[in-house]
Amino acid sequence: MSSLFLSVFSSLLSFRGAAQLAHWNVVGRDFYQLHLLFEKVYETLDAQVDIFAEQGRSLGVEIPSSVFNQVPDTEWFTGYDLAEWLLTMCMRYKSELELIRELAEQEKQFGFVNIIEGFLTDSNTLCYLLRSTLEL
């Protein structure tokens, strides 16, 4: 579980960092709408970070410094490019959450499963918000 946990945690931190970067860098005609959306994304993810890390420690996972500073580079021309980038990260994070939920269920870590279920609900909402913004 340790390596999968660290992979998911790294994805969470990357996604959160990317959302904050998008929040700071969005400009243009739809600035306000996208600025608030990106803020909602990083605040939702920020609320998950400490809970996830503490769960990992309770499961015996040591969290190395290498999980930080993992925001991938991207180029963007519009705020919608940033939204598309975040949607890609959201889908990846959601997929990894589903994998770790499966493993936690197999290992009968039901408290952790419940936490992951909440994160999956949040992720479904964030992916929906990002996707619907791109469908305008």
Closest CA relative to residue 34, chosen from 78, 92, 94: 78
pLDDT, mean of residues 45-60: 93
CATH code at position 38: 1.20.1260.10
Written as one letter, the residue type at 16 is R
User: Which pLDDT score, from 0 to 100, does residue 20 have?
Assistant: 92
| Residues 93 and 8 sit within 8 Å (Cβ to Cβ) | yes
In the structure encoding, which two tokens stand for residue 11, read together?
């994805």
Overall domain count for the chain = 1
DSSP string, 18-33: HHHHHHHH--STTHHH
Q: Taking the model in full, what pTM does it have?
A: 0.91
| Residues 1 and 76 sit within 8 Å (Cβ to Cβ) | no
Confidence band (pLDDT; 50, 70, 90) for 121?
A: very high
Residue 109 structural domain:
2-134
In the structure encoding, which two tokens stand for residue 54, read together?
């503490």
Alpha carbon distance, N-terminus to C-terminus of the chain? 40
Closest CA relative to residue 17, chosen from 87, 62, 78, 68: 68
Residue partners of 25: CB distance under 8 A and separation at least 6: 76, 82
Q: Which of 67-71, 118-122, 132-136 has the highest mean pLDDT?
A: 118-122
User: Which pLDDT score, from 0 to 100, does residue 76 have?
Assistant: 82
pLDDT, mean of residues 79-90: 94
